Structures are given as structure tokens and as C-alpha cells.
């Protein structure tokens, strides 16, 4: 054992004491933030004016104000669980990857996607789909224009696009053929994270992704991104802005946020199981492209917990066109809760899609064994780097024979 636990123990004790103080401070800040939520619950014009002023102030500093904007729903109100259609189809997909590793026997990366179609009320067994995994090994796929190895962020973007591509194909296949509504769930946020891509690829990938959202909309599938244990603070930022006098909205005041340690979930502890919060619009840099395409990002918080004693408040992101479809929104709300109750607090289709997509340690070793065999067949000599070889020995694990 190399970790000196006797030296860690006093730090763990100090950490516990600090956490207790943090909880007390958060509780007090959350109470004040919820008071503001109630105070400005229907002050839509006032909040819109302050958002406009904050955006102008931040623009002068070459920043964008990031926060939530109200829609037409009262901010402090809880919206009850609507009835779920007897028959509804829910589709989900998820992906995983093996990242390129310069210490492995050769450079490659692999993307695997799993998906599922669950038909509530049909008495039919859920259908699972496992598209052919994508193994990438060509230098064009592995290196950028400067000869640098592709980053994990770039592989993650390719995985995200592969996930939504499968979801889009399944929605196009099932939605027109069904008389019942179809719900399409994305694991995570509804937008594509392109900041990790080289600048010259960002627009191309985002356009590709938005085109898939267009196809989902055209299919009629009720589309949403599901985020478990969210850490965002969009509504918190809005309430901080609301607390400032209009003539006191400055760059410095915006930065001195007394609620900066809170998250939005701290505000919505009043949601009972099945209830959702008001719908908010996202105000953030990069969201404009989605807005122009009709997919302006909105969200609400939803308690998918089974009881008041065990709440689970998640964030659900939806496109603007779904906000303007109240029956579809109610169906989505009810279907997510119905799915979460199957597994005790997390949508069954997302859990199953993850299970289908995940690449286990044994499966990765099997892939590398196949690669080693094929390399030898081609007259090549596969070998780990000296660093990886020694790490394997130190970890006490048996590696496959090269």
C-alpha cells in the first residue's frame, strides 16, 4: 500500500466539518433564492428588461450573459404529472468508446452504440438494436492537419453524433408507422458540445447535428435530452440578476453572485414526485444556431423520484417546437416519469441503451487480442509501450500475450 491513510485521515475529518458548514450556507442561500423565485414568479416584463440590460453590459466586455429566461409559465409554480397515454413508444440510444492510446499496441479508436424501442401498452417485448461498431484506424481519422493525435473531445463528438444518428433512423422508422406518440430520448444535453473540436470543424459538425434534429422534428418524435444529477445554474443566474436594481446591473455586480455555489436543483425542492417546474429558455453563447433552426433550447426540472423521501430532480431539455405543443409536452412529461418508475428513478430505455453500448474491460482486451493476432499475421510485431507494460505489471494484472 502506497497511500498513507494515516495522513489522509485528518484531512478527511476536516473535509467532513467543512461539508457541514457548506450545507448550512447553501441552505440559507437557497432560501433567499427561492424567495426571489416567488417574488418574480410572474414578473416576465421586468425580467426580460433586466436580461436585455445584462446582455448589453456583458457584450461590452466581450462576454455573453448566461442564464435562463422565463417563458409564459409562473416560475415558482409546480406543474402536476399529466396522464400518460395508454400506448406510447419510447426510443433511446447511448454510446461508448475506446479512446486512442499512444501506449497501446497500435493507434485506433472504437465507437459502439446501443439503442432500444419500448412500446408501453402493447405487451410486446422491447426491441434492442446494436449497430455495427465503428473501428477507426486510418491516419485521416487519427491525426489532425498539424499531425496531432485526435483528442478525446473529438472522439466524444463523433460518438454523440453516432448516437443521435441511430435515434433519428429509429424515429423515422417507427413514428410514421405508429398511431401512438413516439418519444425520443437523448442521454445528456440536447446540444452538441463542439468546443473541443478544432475551429474549422465546429460549424460542420454542428450543422450535421442540427440536420438530425430537423429529421427528428419531421418524424414527429417528441425529442428531449435527459440530464441526471444536473449541476447547471441557469435559473440561479436569473434570480441573481433579478435581485439587482436595474441601474445596478454592471459587469462587476453580475460577477459577484451570492448564489454562485447553488445549482438550479436547490431551488426546486418543492417539486413532489412526478411534478415539473416551469419551462425556461437557455440564454447562452452558441444557442443562437439552434434558435435559428427552430430548436431553441428550453428546459424544465422534473422530480422522477418514487417518493417524497427520495426525490430525484433531473433536467429535461426540449426544443422550442415542443414547447409550443402542449399535448406533446404533457406526453413527454408523463412518459419520462413512467419510464423512470420502471427502474426506481431513471428511465429504463436509457439504462438499457447504456448497457447495450458499454464496452467492458474484457471486451476491450478481446479487441486488442484480435488486433495483435492480425498484426502478427501481417508480419508486424505488436508491443505495448515500456510505460504501459510496467504499469500492467505494477497493477498485478495479467495482460494478454503478444
Mind listing the pLDDT tens digit for each residue in 339-370? 999 998 899 999 999 999 999 999 998 999 99
Res 67 pLDDT > 90? yes
Specify the pLDDT at position 17. 84
Which residue, among 394, 387, 398, has the nearest Cα to 101 in the 3D structure? Answer: 387
Residues 335 and 350 sit within 8 Å (Cβ to Cβ)? no
* Cα–chain center distance at 190: 7
State how far the alpha carbon of 133 is from the alpha carbons of 121, 212, 239, 357, in Å: 32, 20, 45, 9
What's the pLDDT band for 393 if we cut at 50, 70, 90? low
Q: What is the mean pLDDT of residues 128-139?
A: 94
The DSSP line for 303-362 is E--SBTTB--EEEEEEEHHHHT-HHHHHHHHHHHHHHHHHHTSS-HHHHHHHHHH---HH
Which residue, among 240, 208, 218, has the nearest Cα to 67 in the 3D structure? Answer: 240
The grid cell for 177 is 408507422
Prediction pTM value = 0.91
What's the pLDDT band for 62 if we cut at 50, 70, 90? low
Res 46 pLDDT > 70? yes
Specify the pLDDT at position 395. 62
Res 399 pLDDT > 60? no
Amino acid at each position: 500500500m502506497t497511500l498513507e491513510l494515516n495522513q489522509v485521515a485528518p484531512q478527511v475529518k476536516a473535509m467532513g466539518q467543512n461539508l457541514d458548514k457548506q450545507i448550512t450556507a447553501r441552505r440559507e442561500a437557497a432560501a433567499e433564492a427561492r424567495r426571489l423565485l416567488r417574488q418574480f414568479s410572474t414578473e416576465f416584463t421586468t425580467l426580460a428588461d433586466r436580461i436585455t440590460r445584462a446582455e448589453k453590459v456583458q457584450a461590452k466586455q466581450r462576454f455573453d450573459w448566461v442564464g435562463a429566461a422565463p417563458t409564459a409559465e409562473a416560475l415558482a409554480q409546480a406543474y402536476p404529472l399529466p396522464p400518460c397515454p395508454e400506448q406510447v413508444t419510447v426510443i433511446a440510444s447511448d454510446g461508448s468508446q475506446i479512446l486512442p492510446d499512444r501506449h497501446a499496441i497500435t493507434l485506433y479508436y472504437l465507437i459502439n452504440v446501443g439503442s432500444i424501442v419500448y412500446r408501453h401498452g402493447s405487451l410486446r417485448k422491447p426491441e434492442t438494436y446494436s449497430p455495427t461498431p465503428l473501428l477507426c484506424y486510418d491516419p485521416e481519422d487519427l491525426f489532425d492537419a498539424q499531425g496531432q493525435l485526435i483528442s478525446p473531445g473529438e472522439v466524444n463528438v463523433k460518438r454523440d453524433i453516432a448516437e443521435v444518428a441511430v435515434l433519428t433512423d429509429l424515429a423515422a422508422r417507427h413514428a410514421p408507422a405508429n398511431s401512438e406518440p413516439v418519444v425520443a430520448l437523448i442521454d445528456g444535453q440536447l446540444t452538441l458540445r463542439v468546443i473541443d473540436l478544432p475551429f474549422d470543424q465546429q460549424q460542420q459538425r454542428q450543422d450535421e447535428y442540427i440536420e438530425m434534429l430537423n429529421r427528428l422534428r419531421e418524424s414527429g418524435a417528441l425529442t428531449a435530452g435527459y440530464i441526471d444529477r444536473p449541476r447547471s445554474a441557469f435559473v440561479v443566474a436569473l434570480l441573481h440578476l433579478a435581485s439587482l436594481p436595474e441601474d445596478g446591473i454592471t459587469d462587476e455586480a453580475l460577477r459577484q453572485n451570492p448564489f454562485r455555489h447553488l445549482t438550479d436543483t436547490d431551488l426546486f425542492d418543492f417539486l413532489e414526485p412526478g411534478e415539473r417546474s416551469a419551462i425556461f429558455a437557455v440564454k447562452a453563447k452558441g444557442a443562437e444556431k439552434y434558435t435559428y433552426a427552430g430548436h431553441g433550447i428550453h428546459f424544465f426540472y422534473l422530480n422522477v423520484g418514487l417518493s417524497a423521501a427520495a426525490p430525484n430532480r433531473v433536467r429535461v431539455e426540449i426544443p422550442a417546437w415542443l414547447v409550443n405543443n402542449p399535448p406533446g409536452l404533457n406526453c413527454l412529461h408523463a412518459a419520462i416519469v413512467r419510464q423512470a418508475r420502471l427502474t426506481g428513478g431513471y428511465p429504463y430505455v436509457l439504462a438499457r441503451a447504456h448497457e447495450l453500448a458499454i464496452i467492458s474491460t474484457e471486451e476491450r482486451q478481446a479487441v486488442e487480442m484480435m488486433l495483435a493476432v492480425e498484426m502478427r499475421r501481417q508480419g508486424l510485431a505488436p508491443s505495448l509501450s515500456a510505460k504501459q507494460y510496467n504499469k500492467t505489471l505494477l497493477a498485478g494484472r495479467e495482460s494478454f500475450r503478444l
